[in-house]
Structure 1
Amino acid sequence: MRWTALYVRSRHLAVSLAAVVLCALALPPLLGDNWSTFFATITLGGAIAVAGVGLSGQDIDLDRTASFRWPPRRLAHLLLIGAVAGGVMLAAQGLAELPMQAGWIFRNAAGLLGLTGLAATLFGGQFGWTLPLGWAMTAVFVPSAASQVYDVVAWPMATADSAAAWWTAGLLFVAGTAAYTLAGARR
């Protein structure tokens, strides 16, 4: 069996893909008129969080003894999660009554992806869901205000043109992607 087939099976990528598609395609039509930034944030956070569980295999020691370099594969896996979740979310906007802007989806997918990488690095791949889903859930309950503090703390809920939200998401993306790519998932 080739390493790609083994990798796909050990990381449960088929189940993750099904969960991402279910999160992003099922909720917008079900919510109909109630589709809003609130539900879009939860949906995107859930889609990325579910896929983040597969960022480590069952045996970290076995993974580390492989004869090939892991960093490119880790980076590709993480970016694939973001591309699929963001792409499915973009496709689902045709089903929503109030579609989200493409820039908003891109920014949030990048920031939540960085949080997934940080969670996998700090807590282990099985807990890769904790930071993206936790931040998305927290952001929806932060009282809205027209300030930069709100745009930093609740960046997933901020408008697509908020510079502070873009900076926050960008920093989280760079930090999480670099940490996971270089260090991998915690044991």
Structure 2
Amino acid sequence: MRWLTLYARSRQIPVALASALVTTFAVWAITDPPNPAMAALSVVSAVGVLAIGLTGQDPHLDRTAAIRWFPRRVAHVVLIAAVASALLLAFTTDLAPAAFVLRAGAGLAGLAALAAAAFGGQHAWTLPLGWFAISFFIPRSDEVPVHVATWLFQAPDNTPAAWTAGVLGVVGTTTYALARPRR
């Protein structure tokens, strides 16, 4: 248990969790009427805040540690997806169905992990926020490439959106766990 406490403190998890709670509450409080785009924004903001802890204070220390980091990194990304989704679902299920929120959490956590591996933990928020911002302005259509690009805003039963979120989640988590975060 001691290592878990030290890990949480070194990754600024208590502060990130409090910030994610505040951002989720703020989005929920200003949303009327219910809107799936606001649910996606809530998950994006929670993932962005929580993902900052994907890199510790000293990357050299992380690389020289005698413990196996792979399972811990995978667990960290999975917990980011779970917590970001659970925070919104704890406030309301009116903004979007649970399947929509869980799919968003998995895909966005994978994007954050990919950004942490490529740019470092302090920039892990960039890919989730960037994908949200760009796909928000893509005109909707029934073409599969558009469904893939706008997976974050598609209906919960949309197959291309589910596959896109799943692939982003798996590829991002695996890349982060194997490649380690950048400095």
Does the CA-based 8 Å contact 2:38-2:95 persist in structure 1? no
Aligned-pair distance for 1:24? 1.8
2:63 aligns with 64
Aligned-pair distance for 1:99? 2.7
Distance 2:80 2:169 in 1: 13
Percent identity, please: 43
1:108 aligns with 104
Aligned-pair distance for 1:26? 2.6
Distance 1:125 1:104 in 2: 26
Q: Which aligned pairs between 1:1-187 and structure 2 lie closer than 5 A?
A: 2-33=2-33, 35-94=34-93, 98-187=94-183
Distance 2:58 2:164 in 1: 33
Indicate the SS of the match to 1:32.
coil
Q: What is the alpha-carbon root mean square deviation over aligned residues?
A: 1.4
Does the CA-based 8 Å contact 2:135-2:150 persist in structure 1? yes
Distance 1:2 1:107 in 2: 33
Deviating above 4 A after TM superposition, structure 1's stretches of 4 or more consecutive aligned residues are none
Distance 1:40 1:89 in 2: 8
Q: Supply the AA of the counterpart residue of 1:102.
A: A
Distance 1:36 1:146 in 2: 20
Aligned-pair distance for 1:147? 2.2
Count of residues paired in the alignment: 183
Does the CA-based 8 Å contact 1:42-1:137 persist in structure 2? no
5+ residue gaps, structure 1: none
Does the CA-based 8 Å contact 1:139-1:153 persist in structure 2? yes
5+ residue gaps, structure 2: none
Q: Supply the AA of the counterpart residue of 1:73.
A: R
Does the CA-based 8 Å contact 2:36-2:95 persist in structure 1? no
Does the CA-based 8 Å contact 2:39-2:95 persist in structure 1? no
Distance 2:89 2:18 in 1: 16
Relative to the length of structure 1, the TM-score reads 0.92
Distance 2:121 2:28 in 1: 28
Aligned-pair distance for 1:83? 0.8
Distance 1:3 1:144 in 2: 47
Does the CA-based 8 Å contact 1:53-1:126 persist in structure 2? yes
Distance 1:22 1:148 in 2: 36
Distance 2:173 2:126 in 1: 16
Aligned-pair distance for 1:150? 1.6
Relative to the length of structure 2, the TM-score reads 0.94
